[in-house]
């Protein structure tokens, strides 16, 4: 009877530990998300439209708008 109670307690504690570790890992992934924004202009300060913006080695990216502005999340 006591062994069974100890076994159930151990199983419950182990399950709780695994859930907490998993939740911590997920929180770290969302915490490292960075948003980069800015504008692209030529040598005369004029905005450049349709310039491709991306991070080297990463999928995705964005393009500047008519005002030369961009935002990557």
Tokens 């182990």 sit on residue: 14
Asked whether residue 8 falls in the same domain as residue 18, the answer is yes
Domains of the chain: total: 2
Say yes or no: 22 and 54 in one domain: no
Residue span of the structural domain in which 16 resides: 1-32
- Is the Cα dihedral 46, 51, 53, 56 positive or negative? negative
Q: How many CB atoms lie within 10 A of CB 53?
A: 15
Residues 18 and 4 placed together within one structural domain of the fold:
yes
Are 50 and 66 found together in one domain? yes
| pLDDT computed for residue 14 by the predictor | 74
pLDDT tens, position by position, 10-68: 777 777 776 767 666 665 555 567 788 999 999 999 999 999 998 888 788 899 999 99
Instruction: Give 2-65 as a DSSP string.
Output: HHHHHHHHHHHHHHHHHHHHHHHHHHHHHHT---EEEE-B-TTS-B-SS-EE--TTSS--EE--
pTM for the full model? Answer: 0.53
């Amino acid at each position: 009877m006591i062994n069974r109670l100890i076994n159930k307690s151990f199983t419950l504690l182990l399950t709780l530990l695994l859930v907490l570790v998993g939740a911590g890992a997920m929180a770290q992934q969302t915490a490292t998300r960075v948003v980069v924004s800015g504008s692209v202009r030529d040598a005369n300060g004029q905005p450049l439209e349709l310039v491709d913006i991306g991070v080297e080695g990463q999928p995705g990216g964005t393009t500047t708008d008519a005002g030369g502005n961009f935002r990557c999340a």
